[in-house]
């Protein structure tokens, strides 16, 4: 994979020091990240979809935050139960999930 078709960024409140501190971390951000990785693997999309964790994205009260590039789509209050919907509708069919959008 030179450049991914989609890059999914999941806020896990990771600091530059490696320390995890912040709201998304306490709201299940790490679990979310791990489940996105599993979902991408199970769908055999690893050659076109990259998943990365991030530090605070500045919208803690809306967390956990998930951002999908290159679409610049920001999702808020994402749960593990939302992952399959994001994968089905957005990643596999190009349609952002309206009910989770941050505007
Ligand atoms: S810790 Fe995730 S947006 Fe602040």
User: 12-35 burial, b if ≥16 CB within 10 A, otherwise e?
Assistant: bbbeeeeebebbbbebbbbebbeb
Mean pLDDT, 10 residues at a time, the chain of 103 residues: 91 86 90 97 97 94 97 98 98 98 95
Residue 92 CB neighbours (<10 A): 13
- Give percent of the chain with pLDDT exceeding 90: 86
How far is Cα of residue 52 from the mean position of the Cα atoms in its chain?
8
pLDDT, residue 17, reads 86
Q: How many domains does the chain have?
A: 1
Q: Is the CB of 102 under 6 A from ligand 1?
A: no
Asked if residue 79 is part of any domain, the answer here is yes
Give me the domain span that covers residue 77: 6-100
CATH of the domain at 92: 3.40.30.10
Cα 38 to middle of ligand 1, angstroms: 22
Stated pTM of the model: 0.94
User: Which pLDDT tens digit goes with each residue over 69-93?
Assistant: 999 999 999 999 999 999 999 999 9
Asked if residue 1 is part of any domain, the answer here is no
């Amino acid at each position: 994979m030179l450049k991914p078709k989609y890059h999914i960024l999941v806020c896990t409140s990771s600091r530059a020091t490696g320390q995890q501190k912040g709201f998304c971390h306490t709201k299940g951000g790490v679990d979310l990240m791990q489940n996105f990785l599993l979902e991408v693997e199970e769908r055999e999309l690893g050659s076109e979809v990259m998943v990365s964790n991030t530090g605070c994205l500045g919208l803690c009260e809306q967390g956990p935050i998930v951002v999908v590039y290159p679409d610049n789509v920001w999702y808020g209050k994402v749960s593990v139960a939302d992952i399959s919907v994001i994968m089905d509708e957005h990643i596999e069919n190009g349609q952002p999930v309206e009910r989770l959008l941050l505007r």
